[in-house]
Chain A
Amino acid sequence: MEARIRARVNLALTFFALLFFVAGSSPPRQFVISNAERRIDLSSHIINVHLTLKVENAGTRPASEVVLALTPTEVDHLAMVDASAIKGKRKKTTSLRLEVKPTELPDAPPIDTKYFTIYLANPLNSGESTTLEVLYVFTHFLEPFPAEIAQSESQLVFYHDTALILSSYHIKQQTTFIKTPSTKVESFIRMEPTNRVGTEIKYGPYEDRPPYSISPIHVHFENNSPFAVVEELVQEIEISHWGNIQVTEHYKLIHAGARHKGVFSRVDYQSRQSSNGASSFRYLLARLPPRVHSVYYRDEIGNISSSHLRTDSLKSELQIEPRYPLFGGWKATFVIGYGLPLQDFLFESSDDKRYLNFTFGCPLIGMVVDKLTIKVVLPEGSTDPSPVVPFPVEHHLEAKYSSLDVVGRTVVVLEKKNFVPMHNSHFQVYYSFKPIFMLAESLMLASAFFMLFVACVAYIHIDLSIRK
């Protein structure tokens, strides 16, 4: 359990990484990639790049650090990178998750490339090879062109990349597949051999490319999937030991696609749905935990009546509709709140502590969250809170005063930038709490009323008049 505590301050993290590198043993050129296959999925505004690398140790010494290279723009839009090693063959493959950390190379080439290092579980001996699977997730990477569209137009976007995989190793053979959401592709740059079949464009195979070789390409295609982005999500999880967890989520939603231009005509939008506002969206789906109760959906000016809740024993689905359909560049804000039974999420750990086990993420499906803030409000009187999150986040403590609090509640604030659904996982917050604090407020109230009655009795029986 302790080993999983990885939520550390970023500064310390990079410092460690640097330290590692100064003492680093393996020069990067030690590996050769014998086969690389890249599959790029452009069907939504979250871009998934699956990279399968067959890495061979061409050096003499065993090595355990494989370096991945990315362009600076890619790094700016990178939401997550994940690597795993594939063991076994054909059907009996098992994957083992590996640690990935951003690093800097001392002998970096002139183009300012950014690096990530994969730490292999077992060092690779000379001549041996292994298969690595890497997943990159990029957000805000598709550039709408034209940047402004009218209501009846559909949305076209540019995807920029290189046909050759950027790598600091020699690649013997490589292929890239780009999957577009539809067959409507305006243009793309060829680099022979290139061919396009249906919704897929295939670049390659290219043989024997030296390190850092690139070949810029772009694809200009139609993408009408909703570019729904939550600019800021503040999720407040309030624990009450009386049996309830109250979750309040404040959303700032924006349509991040091509901006809407000119007229919005309700007639056209209502009567010709197919050809109008193809890139706009009306409905959002939130997946909430099962046994959710007292759900509300409102904004700062009141309740929003257009929502549906479906519940079953495994999950609850809340379908919401913002007050108006969102076209490119339009914004909306709203709040979703719900209550959950305490026993589903709060547990006691072995060392007499309690911990909250909750999903780190945004309940809305398919959302990019630019800035996600999770505030866990612990009950009044709880001490030494410590969060456990499976990926690096920033965290600090706050105090909150609510319903007759005297000392205030401890709030654990976790912040994560550029959050994508692939991040969804559980996190824990450990804290210690004495049950006697549950009674504090009721005792306070009781004594206040007691004092009031005593004062009343005293007032009635005291004669304050001067003249008898």
Chain B
Amino acid sequence: MAAPEASTAAVPTLYTNNTLRNAFGGVLSFFILLLIGVLAFSIRLFSVIKYESVIHEFDPYFNYRVTQFLTKKGIYEFWNWFDDRTWYPLGRVIGGTVYPGLTLTAGTIWWLLNSLNIPLSVETVCVFTAPIFSAFASWATYLLTKEVKGAGAGLTSAVLLAMVPSYISRSVAGSYDNEAVAIFALIFTFYLYLKTLNTGSLFYATLNSLAYFYMVCSWGGYTFIINLIPMHVLLCIVTGRYSSRLYIAYAPLVVLGTLLAALVPVVGFNAVMTSEHFASFLVFIIIHVVAFVYYIKGILSPKMFKVAVTLVVTVGLAVCCAVIAVLIALVASSPTKGWSGRSLSLLDPTYASKYIPIIASVSEHQPPTWPSYFMDINVLAFLVPAGIIACFLPLSDASSFVVLYIATSVYFSGVMVRLMLVLAPAACITSGIALSEAFDVLTGSIKFQLPGVTSNAEVDAGETSSDTSEAQTDEVKAEKPDDTSKNRPLKKSKKKERELAENPPAKATAKAKAKAEKKRLLALPLEASVISLLLLVVLGAFYVVHSVWAAAEAYSAPSIVLTTRSRDGLHVFDDFREAYAWLSHNTDVNDKVASWWDYGYQTTAMANRTVIVDNNTWNNTHIATVGTAMSSPERAAWEIFHSLDVKYVLVVFGGLIGYPSDDINKFLWMVRIGGGVFPHIKEPDYLRDGQYRIDSQATPTVLNCLMYKLSYYRFVETDGKAYDRVRRTEIGKKYFKLTHFEEVFTTHHWMVRIYKLKPLKNRIRGKAKKSKLKTSSTSSSKRSGTKKKNPWQ
């Protein structure tokens, strides 16, 4: 559409031609960006259309509950919120231990809408926060890549990011988690860093530290930024790319960013105390030294400078050594060397499995498999190397940053599946660059060899609309040296473009000629370029098909409601909510419910009941206590639960319908975590020849533990054989009675079973003696052990 008008307008002068093309390019990219935003938003709505507008999974429920509190009670109450409905009897200081970015964002959106009298519920706002922010994230990607390789590459990577499956998995509608806004904040911070680096403007530097502040508010992954940017600065210094722009991009970020980060309660003094942040301070010192050296170099004559260097280096080295020694001593004195568990497991991938079973027990903390790379970034995995090569032609400050970003994020994604999310934007940016460069070369050579296109001017004029972006790329490139040499103060970018358009026409024609020369050199054979162009389009189509499939099928399930398709239609398993609704309506509001920590957030959010442990997992001992209770025999478990004032015990059981992620399958983790704190729980007691089983070969410890009993109580009466559909076996012990617990609710498909602790019995003389004798004769050793180890008595 833009092409014919551009060519007719090209007749009068080259000057008007350029402005018009710029205007069209601008309008076109604006609409493309708008469509990319719509795409990013709508591809994430599959979950709402296929299921319903509901909060997904586990952590989002906590965030939702916090947001509800925020909207109800206001910001000050929120900061001071001590939550007594979780981690009973310890409670949790929510305001000081939560990254508030997401909740504040959604709370603000809700407040804005409500003050405009658009009455959306908090839930609706929460559900759609993630898709909205993924649209923002793709726009931020455009801006970032535009800084690196121009608008064409920017648009390509924006469209790639809009539907990269890895990011979709964390940001479908309803997946109301920190990552949803954090990825946007991450990309936007990087963009502002590069923008500052390219312009040397203090305005962008300030914006950058604000963006960094937002990132710190949103996600613990901000440490990635505060380590990656220093690394890049160091790289620039080492490769002799130091400039005043680099200084402006870095120094304000460290000072302002650290100050702002320390304002976030959950970070606080960690911003200056923990090892994660030390790299940035070290580089901060180095960049000052370097800046000083450059300054001195400018003042002194070369000879004097050499003398000064030798002097300073000797003294400086001595001081540095002393300082570093003190630092190392300080760091080494702390048990974890100043690193948090999760960060340590990043540096040493085997750390978690060795020392912290609670981190290892979460599936998203495991290293990914190769198929998961293909699943999550698909064809981008093949385009990334090409993109890295493209970044080297020519290597600029910005493109070196992208190379560094992709290199580090590939490493981190290899450690934890969850960090694939950090890799995804990097992969999109590099692949976008690769695709855009490839298209550039291929379309360029096709155009060059097309018959009828002879003169250089006509080449310029007849360029299709796709080339407008390329023209802009060139301008941006051409603009950079101008900017830096003049060292301009802040101005609107539009101004610059206008000024740039006023370049004398002679210069422009010279440039066009040079470009044509370059093109002639790069030209490929016509057939080859047409075929490879087609292949690239097929590759892109494959990516789109895969992404849509991933969004529709793989990542849209909310996991609290399950569906299966069978011959007689769709089956819905809504057992979780059935159980939570039952708890919330038919138990006392102050009753305590014990369950494995996975269901803690959901229980507090949906059933509004106090839980013992939840997904926050901040207190390992507390979780170990619950794990111990679940893996103890009934009587000992009753005592532990009773000492914790627990009224109901909730277990998730998938044996009837074949739901694999139930408590029996998680049981070994309970044993491990429990055994880590209370040594009388020994993992080998639960394994027969190194294998965990619940059939007739199971060890008596398994068959007598609370988890087994609560899961399989009266299970045999359903089919007469007690066949477990998950473990594909008949269970070991079919008929047994519960003495200290009673079944109060089981959901329709048996997925959630709720038991009530029986109250203490009045002592009946004869019977009590007998039963006491019996139990003490069978399990006296165990019980005495339990009693000693139970920390709540």
- A contact residues vs B (CB 8 Å cutoff): 262-267, 271, 299, 301-306, 323-324, 329-333, 401-406, 460, 465, 467
Contacts and interface: CB of A to CB of B under 8 A. Distances in A.
B717 A267 contact: yes
B574 interface: yes
A263 B742 contact: yes
Contacts of A299: 581
Interface string B549-583: 00000000000110000000000101001101110
- Specify the main secondary structure of chain A where it touches its partner: loop
A328 to B, nearest CB: 11
Given A265-B714, A266-B746, A465-B492, A324 B582 contact: yes
Given A263-B742, A266-B750, A332-B585, A301 B580 contact: yes
B746 A403 contact: no
B118 interface: yes
Nearest to B121: A300
Contacts of A305: 561, 572, 574
A406 B116 CA distance: 9
B117 interface: yes
A299 B714 CA distance: 31
A323 B743 contact: no
Interface string B501-531: 0000000000000000000000000000000
Contacts of B118: 403-404
Contacts of B745: 264, 324
A428 to B, nearest CB: 27
Given A302-B577, A403-B117, A465-B495, A266 B747 contact: yes
A453 B491 CA distance: 22
Contacts of A323: 574, 577-578, 581-582
Nearest to A322: B581
Contacts of A331: 585-586
A267 B585 contact: no
Interface in B242-261: none
A262 B746 contact: no
Interface string B462-497: 000000000000000000000000000101101100
Contacts of B581: 299, 301, 323-324, 332
B586 A330 contact: yes
Q: How large is the interface on B (under 10, 10 to 19, 20 to 34, 35 or more residues)?
A: 20 to 34
Given A271-B718, A303-B52, A402-B119, 8 more contacts: A263-B742, A265-B743, A266-B748, A267-B714, A271-B717, A305-B561, A324-B581, A465-B492
B606 interface: yes
A409 to B, nearest CB: 10
B491 A465 contact: yes
Contacts of A404: 116-118
Given A330-B586, A402-B119, A465-B491, A303 B747 contact: no
B54 interface: yes
A305 B572 CA distance: 7
B433 to A, nearest CB: 31
Contacts of B491: 465
22 contacts: A262-B742, A263-B743, A263-B744, A264-B743, A264-B744, A265-B714, A266-B750, A267-B718, A267-B746, A271-B718, A299-B581, A302-B577, A303-B54, A305-B561, A305-B572, A324-B582, A331-B586, A401-B119, A402-B119, A403-B117, A403-B118, A465-B491
A323 B749 CA distance: 12
Given A302-B54, A401-B117, A460 B577 contact: no
Contacts of B561: 302, 305
A62 B28 CA distance: 93
Contacts of A402: 117, 119
Nearest to B749: A266
A266 B117 CA distance: 46
A302 B54 CA distance: 6
Interface in B293-314: none
Contacts of A330: 582, 585-586
Interface string B46-66: 000000101000000000000
A262 B494 CA distance: 75
B53 to A, nearest CB: 8
A449 to B, nearest CB: 14
Nearest to B575: A323
Candidate in A267, A301, A406, A460 with the most chain B CB atoms within 10 angstroms: A301
Contacts of B495: 465
Contacts of B492: 465
A299 B580 CA distance: 12
In the A-B complex, the 7 residue pairs with the closest CB atoms: A266-B746, A302-B54, A331-B585, A303-B52, A305-B572, A323-B578, A401-B117
Contacts of B744: 263-264
B723 to A, nearest CB: 15
A404 B114 CA distance: 9
Contacts of B577: 301-302, 323
A264 B752 CA distance: 13
A23 B422 CA distance: 88
Nearest to A405: B117
Nearest to B490: A465
Nearest to B495: A465
A404 B117 CA distance: 5
Interface in B689-715: 714
Contacts of B578: 323-324
A465 B492 CA distance: 8
